[in-house]
Structure 1
């Protein structure tokens, strides 16, 4: 999995408002109690997991796995720098909720069925696997021309993954999570420079600077847009 270091660092995704709203969405769609076990595949700094632990008053710390071990990760989680398949193969814990938030596109398409199978095997009775990806029809993330092309290519892969999951898991439920973003254009430009989204990882400094100039021209000083995610919910009933 590529090392995406800044998606949850000083972005709207790391804001209290976003985290509160996302955790509310999770709890609405999966009831949790103090004994619930939670796993987040691609957890970043684990701020969402940390908030869930507090909100649901969990006895056990949620587990987050990620290829990047951030120094400022949340203290209320158990963090593991480990490959998802390696963790799931050796794991002995049964989870009530497994979250894959905007990271499933990092896996090869051929590996998706196996990943879903491993996740389902790691769920308790009535546990849920929740997979989030960008909603290509509703999201309004500001882009520059070359970034837009990369994003469209990524969204096409997300669509292929979604079709494969739905084909192999007939009882999957579909939900949408929306968050209304309002931020300074200058703040968003800093996010671009820090490569906050995976489609920017291969861009060099010259390409980023060109994109920054484009966004400066195209967007107002205060940017408003919808960050919209598709959510596939797979239930485990044994």
Structure 2
């Protein structure tokens, strides 16, 4: 599985404003208390659920899973460097919230079905699974030509995954999360160079360099756009 090291590292995703906005979104989808138990699949540095832990004064540390262990992972979470299927197969704990944010596309359809089955079995009654992925309609992420092509290609697979999720015979609800991004162009160029999104991982250095030049010419000093995510919520009744 490909690993993204910089998605939540010095990007708008790691900003206090984004984290606060996203955590407000989470507590609107599921009523949580200080005794709530939370699992984040593909947690990155764990800043989101770490902040949520402080906000709710959680008695139990939220658990974060990722295949990449960052030196600066949030100490407010219980981090486990492991594959989601491996963890869930052996899991005996029950959770009130299982979060899968912008990581579901790293798995094939068979793996996704396993993850959902195991995740559903790992929920408390009334617990929820939140799966968030990029909104493929009118997506506003700033791109260069090759990046746009690659992103559109990946959206075809994302739409197939989404269609399969909607077909599942599980209590579900659909919602969206939008965040207004205001990022300095120089900061965004560094993010491109660091391959902050999976779309960029297989580009070579020359393609990244040309892309940076294209973005530099295309945008002004500040880049404004909406980061749009669609969310499907599965509830255990």
TM-score range, shorter chain: over 0.9
RMSD: 0.9
1:219 deviation in Å?
A: 1.1
Contact 2:170 2:235 in 1 (8 A): no
- Aligned partners of 2:194 and 2:69: how far apart in 1? 17
Q: How many residues end up aligned between the 2 structures?
A: 237
| Alignment correspondent of 2:85 | 85
| Alignment correspondent of 2:110 | 110
| Alignment correspondent of 2:70 | 70
| Alignment correspondent of 2:149 | 149
1:138-186, Cα deviation, whole Å (9 max, x unpaired): 4311000100011111111111111101101353210000000001111
| Alignment correspondent of 1:51 | 51
1:136 deviation in Å?
A: 1.4
| Alignment correspondent of 1:208 | 208
1:217 deviation in Å?
A: 1.0
| Alignment correspondent of 2:189 | 189
| Alignment correspondent of 1:223 | 223
- Name the SS of the counterpart of 1:148 in structure 2: helix
| Alignment correspondent of 1:123 | 123
1:56-79, Cα deviation, whole Å (9 max, x unpaired): 111000000000000000010000
Contact 1:6 1:195 in 2 (8 A): yes
- Name the SS of the counterpart of 1:207 in structure 2: helix
Contact 1:65 1:79 in 2 (8 A): yes
1:31-65, Cα deviation, whole Å (9 max, x unpaired): 10111100000000000010110111110000000
- Aligned partners of 2:133 and 2:185: how far apart in 1? 24
- Name the SS of the counterpart of 1:177 in structure 2: strand
1:199-230, Cα deviation, whole Å (9 max, x unpaired): 10001111000000111111111110000000
Contact 1:138 1:226 in 2 (8 A): no
Q: Could you state the TM-score of these two structures normalised by the residue count of structure 2?
A: 0.98
Contact 1:139 1:229 in 2 (8 A): no
Q: Which runs of 5+ in 1 are unaligned?
A: none
| Alignment correspondent of 1:168 | 168
- Aligned partners of 1:102 and 1:190: how far apart in 2? 21
- Name the SS of the counterpart of 1:202 in structure 2: coil
Q: 1:141 to 1:49 in 2, by over 3 A?
A: same
Contact 1:95 1:122 in 2 (8 A): yes
| Alignment correspondent of 1:136 | 136
- Aligned partners of 1:110 and 1:156: how far apart in 2? 17
- Aligned partners of 1:100 and 1:133: how far apart in 2? 9
